[in-house]
Amino acid sequence: MYGAIAAVLIGIPSDLIDTPIFGRPIDARWLDYVILATTSALIGLILAIRPPSNDADAESAVERQGTTTLWGGMVSFLAVGCPVCNQAVVALVGISGALSWWAPVQPVVGLTALALLLWTLRKRLRTYRAVACPIPVA
């Protein structure tokens, strides 16, 4: 469920999920959909894994990992968004700069988001200490 929410929160404003609310003057690349799907799945996995509630150290680590998950989602949004719709990029380099400079860099930004989320998932899995159920001796 968390992955689906992340996909909607990233996909609708970037117009990868078509709605009448947002428009996209530049067509999406196939890689944008791959980045959206993989980052949403990773965000879903990260948020679905919770440590035991009685472990205070694990809870503080989870809060830090939540921050990096949020950053991973924001970087993912920048990676799949329309290059000329990003007001910060257009303000810095103009529309021609957004198309000639930012658009080619977006796949690298997407890989950065994937790396950040994979790192966070790895940290989350280390934080979560699964306790095995004892097997009864017959």
Domain ranges of the chain: 2-80+108-125
Q: What is the mean pLDDT of each run of 10 residues along the chain (138 residues)?
A: 92 88 86 94 87 61 74 88 82 86 91 93 75 64
CB 121 within 8 A of CB 46: yes
Find how far residue 32's CA is from the centre of its chain.
Answer: 12
Is the Cβ–Cβ distance between 3 and 39 less than 8 Å? no
The pTM of the whole model exceeds 0.85: no
Predicted confidence at residue 129, as pLDDT, reads 60
Residue 112: predicted pLDDT: 94
Q: What is the pLDDT of residue 73?
A: 87
State residue 33's pLDDT score.
Answer: 93
